Amino acid sequence: MSFLNLTPADIQAISFGFLFFVLAIAFFFLVTTAYRDPIARRYATLALFGGLINLFAFLYSTTDDLWLALLYRTVSQAFSIPFIAALILFSIVVYEKFKPANKVMRDIAYALVAIDALFLLPFLSDITGTNYLIGKLTESPAIQLTPEAGPYLIYFIGFFVVAVLFSFFVMFLLWRTGKSKEARIMGLLMILALEIPVMTRLAGYGPWYGYGANDYVSLFVTFLTGPIFAFGVTYAILRHQLFNIRLIATQVFIFALWGLLFFRVLLAPTLTDALPDIALLVATIVLGIFLIRSVLHEVTQREELERVSANLRDLNETLEEKVAERTGELADEKIHVETIIENLPVGIIELSAGEVIERINSTAEILLGITREEVTGKKVAEWGKEKAYQSLAAALSAKPKEERESAAEPLPASGSAELTITYPHEREIQVQRLPFKLGTRKGELVLIRDVTREKAIERSKNEFITIAAHQLRTPVSGLRWVFNILRSGELGKLNKDQKEVVESGDARAAEMVQLVNDFLNVARISDERFDYQFSKGDIHPLVESVRNGFAGVAEQKGVKFSATVDADVPEFMFDPEKISILLNNLVDNAIKYTQKGGMVSLSVSKEKGGIGISVTDSGIGIPKEEQKRLFEKFFRSRKATQMFTDGSGLGLFITKSVVDNHNGTIVVHSEEGVGTTFSVTLPLNPNGKPE
């Protein structure tokens, strides 16, 4: 029977040639456009080996040489080995794109690939003429469409069926159990466009055993296996936009040209006649691929440019909206900040680097009796002696307390000064200057605070403390006089218990006198009446007095006490009374907070440029977080309070004041449970008051 006057051999040749053509096109497109995608690479491998199977099957139909025809058909079937392996691995790759494959599935896949590789040996043997799988060829391929089946071919066909069923099962699982819609669609597409056509292709083994050898078998198989190429094209369209709608004219033209040349090759009467068309087909395939890729690249670039332009337009619109929104926010924030500055209870004057007044708030206007219109934009040096500007000039040229006796340098950065102004009203103010830098802009903020009420309260408090201390000193001194008379025995001899009571009372009275003295000293310091009488003298007698005064106390408590002065310590300028207070306070604290069996030492030495006084103990130590507050008025360490409830917390405050007024320094090094060292450094200035 014939079909369009074609013999069965012609139909078979056309079928194999068509499949080779479409699979070759699929391979070239996937390799050149989608090689980065693992599924596309696996499919390209399938297309490659499928194309080689059909190529050598096609060559079988083009020769009358029996040995060469048998070789072509053997090689064609041998390429089924890598095709089966590629099919198995392809199904695993597709499955794992959407969900992990379990160990059993992987083990079965690898086992099938290993068995598949074993069939390569008999195929290679058949090339030498053993006929294990591929039998003999006794007639021309134009008459005998396939060689005879070898005795073991049926086993290979059976294995082929098992491999295809495994691949089908994997895709069926993906279709039925895939969690995403894309996974289920991919599984179904694979079943329809790959698994079923490959199964149908197995019908091609029918003629090997004498079944279905008619004109329509090859065409039927061909048109069912064609969807393999359709799957590749569909996947490329959906996944990689291979057939871009903008390229459709170019693609249709090139595909039509390829198809025309391919069928010219198939219908050529001889290979010699087909050679020019084969060369032209190869050239058009190569040029067509490059043409489509170049057009696709150009279209892609144009689309990318359009996308970037659209994104830039959107970004520009968004940016403009954000800029407008942020500008509004900044304006609101500026108004908010200016409102806060304007209503602060502290006067603020902003000075530029050139001492020009840039800003002044309402509080500063009220305190200094000026208006911003009068002074903004003017230099500080421009103010004369007009009464209206006296307070402003005084505030801007104020000196810190420690520099009040020096002349006309302005208040240093971050320093503070207190002064009294008389215009528009008499007030006591505190002035502080803070430098700032914003980019290239530099300047200072002058902060002015009205402390009139605070000073009045502080004076009242100090007056109360002074009066109370003086009122307490007289009766306490009387008590000590009474205790001394009783202890002397002038009123009769005291027994042991009476002596202990008298001595305890006298000690308490002495502590009260010391507390009264501390209160008076603190009041004098606050009122700046803690006067100093500097004279050049020797510190040895003061240290000796401290040693004698605390020797009995230390011995009674069981603390080893030593006081030494290096021989090279020279005479220097100091206030003996105040340094005596300093030494007594430090040694008293050291002995008081050192347990029995501990050690306290006082040492005086000459240091570079000054005199060093060090008091070291092995006492309870001071917590690190409390050390920075040691010199605050009324502060006592937590551990000190637990050990001795008595104490005013004024001793170290007074000590720090003495050190400061000698222009010295005092530092503390302490560790809990180890001990404490107070180190005082006084400047050595034999020519006058310390500077």
Please answer whether residues 451 and 436 qualify as being in contact, where contact means their C-beta atoms are separated by less than 8 angstroms.
no
* Of 488, 514, 521, 530, residue with least CA distance to 647: 514
Residue spans per domain, the chain? 8-242, 245-340, 344-450, 455-526, 536-683
Model confidence band, residue 686 (pLDDT cutoffs 50, 70, 90):
very low
| Predicted pLDDT at 424 | 84
**The domain at 8-242 falls in which architecture?**
Up-down Bundle (1.20)
Model confidence band, residue 37 (pLDDT cutoffs 50, 70, 90):
confident
Cα→Cα distances 218→3, 7, 222, Å: 12, 11, 6
Model confidence band, residue 154 (pLDDT cutoffs 50, 70, 90):
very high
* Of 52, 56, 76, 74, residue with least CA distance to 13: 56
| Predicted pLDDT at 682 | 92
**Six-digit token pair at 484?**
């001394």
pLDDT score of 491 more than 50: yes
User: At which residue do the structure tokens 């002038």 appear?
Assistant: 490
Q: Phi and psi dihedrals of 448, rounded to 5? A: -120, 120
If one compares 360 and 22, the residue with the highest pLDDT of the two is 360
Mean pLDDT within 276-305: 76
The amino acid occupying position 76 is: S
| Predicted pLDDT at 242 | 45
| Predicted pLDDT at 466 | 65
If one compares 663 and 526, the residue with the highest pLDDT of the two is 663
Mean pLDDT within 237-253: 53
pLDDT score of 432 more than 80: yes
pLDDT score of 251 more than 80: no
Residue 147 and residue 131: Cα distance in Å, rounded?
A: 10
CA torsion sign for 313, 318, 321, 323 is negative
| Predicted pLDDT at 287 | 78
If you average pLDDT over each of 184-193, 302-311, 601-610, which comes out highest?
Answer: 601-610
* Residues whose CB falls within 8 Å of the CB of residue 29, separated by 6 or more in sequence, listed in order: 232, 236, 242, 289
Please answer whether residues 68 and 55 qualify as being in contact, where contact means their C-beta atoms are separated by less than 8 angstroms.
no
Lowest-confidence segment of 324-328, 448-452, 509-513, 571-575 by average pLDDT: 509-513
Residue 398 and residue 425: Cα distance in Å, rounded?
A: 18
If you average pLDDT over each of 159-163, 237-241, 300-304, 643-647, which comes out highest?
Answer: 159-163
* Of 44, 164, 173, 46, residue with least CA distance to 116: 164
pLDDT digits (tens, 9 = 90+) for 376-431: 888 766 665 677 777 888 888 776 544 434 333 444 445 678 888 888 888 888 89
| Predicted pLDDT at 680 | 93
* Of 177, 281, 189, residue with least CA distance to 233: 189
Share in percent of the chain as helix, strand, coil (round to 5) = 60, 15, 25
Neighbours of 393 (CB within 10 A): 18
DSSP 8-class letter at 597: T
The amino acid occupying position 199 is: M
Neighbours of 67 (CB within 10 A): 10
**Six-digit token pair at 40?**
């596309």
Mean pLDDT within 137-151: 86
**Six-digit token pair at 495?**
């027994």
Residue 564 pairs in a beta bridge with 603
pLDDT score of 202 more than 90: no
Lowest-confidence segment of 8-12, 160-164, 507-511, 537-541 by average pLDDT: 507-511
Mean pLDDT within 564-591: 90
| Predicted pLDDT at 486 | 73
* Residues whose CB falls within 8 Å of the CB of residue 603, separated by 6 or more in sequence, listed in order: 563, 564, 565, 566, 613, 614, 616
Mean pLDDT within 292-314: 79
Pairing of strands 610-617, 675-683: antiparallel
Lowest-confidence segment of 89-103, 354-368, 396-410, 630-644 by average pLDDT: 396-410
Lowest-confidence segment of 5-14, 479-488, 494-503 by average pLDDT: 479-488
Residue 107 and residue 100: Cα distance in Å, rounded?
A: 14
**Residue 234 host element (H or E):** helix 227-235
Sheet holding 357-360, edge to edge: 357-360, 347-352, 441-450, 427-438, 416-421
If you average pLDDT over each of 23-32, 155-164, 223-232, 411-420, which comes out highest?
Answer: 155-164
CATH 3.40.50.150 fits 536-683, yes or no: no
Please answer whether residues 221 and 200 qualify as being in contact, where contact means their C-beta atoms are separated by less than 8 angstroms.
yes
Model confidence band, residue 617 (pLDDT cutoffs 50, 70, 90):
very high
pLDDT digits (tens, 9 = 90+) for 69-114: 899 889 998 999 999 999 999 899 888 888 888 889 999 999 999 9
Mean pLDDT within 307-329: 86
Residue 190 and residue 611: Cα distance in Å, rounded?
A: 96
Lowest-confidence segment of 5-19, 166-180, 252-266, 300-314 by average pLDDT: 252-266
> What SS3 state is found at 360?
strand
Please answer whether residues 107 and 80 qualify as being in contact, where contact means their C-beta atoms are separated by less than 8 angstroms.
no
**How many CA atoms does the CB half-sphere of 510 hold within 13 Å?**
8
Q: Phi and psi dihedrals of 616, rounded to 5? A: -120, 140
In the 3-class helix/strand/coil scheme, how is 146-207 assigned residue by residue? Answer: CCCECCCHHHHHHHHHHHHHHHHHHHHHHHHHCCCHHHHHHHHHHHHHHHHHHHHHHHHHHH
| Predicted pLDDT at 252 | 60
Average pLDDT value for the chain: 79
* Of 558, 550, 557, residue with least CA distance to 586: 550
| Predicted pLDDT at 34 | 65
Model confidence band, residue 473 (pLDDT cutoffs 50, 70, 90):
low
**Six-digit token pair at 423?**
């215009």
**Six-digit token pair at 158?**
């059976």
Cα→Cα distances 176→161, 162, 337, 521, Å: 22, 21, 65, 95
Please answer whether residues 235 and 215 qualify as being in contact, where contact means their C-beta atoms are separated by less than 8 angstroms.
no
The CATH T-level fold of domain 344-450 is Beta-Lactamase (3.30.450)
* Residues whose CB falls within 8 Å of the CB of residue 179, separated by 6 or more in sequence, listed in order: 98, 99
pLDDT score of 256 more than 70: no
Residue 149 pairs in a beta bridge with 134
Residue 195 and residue 188: Cα distance in Å, rounded?
A: 10
| Predicted pLDDT at 113 | 93
Please answer whether residues 54 and 23 qualify as being in contact, where contact means their C-beta atoms are separated by less than 8 angstroms.
yes
* Of 533, 535, 480, residue with least CA distance to 509: 480
| Predicted pLDDT at 382 | 65
Sheet holding 665-671, edge to edge: 560-565, 599-607, 610-617, 675-683, 665-671
Residue 616 pairs in a beta bridge with 601, 677
**Six-digit token pair at 571?**
């005479």
CA torsion sign for 255, 261, 262, 267 is positive
Lowest-confidence segment of 203-207, 346-350, 681-685 by average pLDDT: 203-207
Torsion from C-alpha of 212, 217, 222, 225, nearest 10 degrees: -40
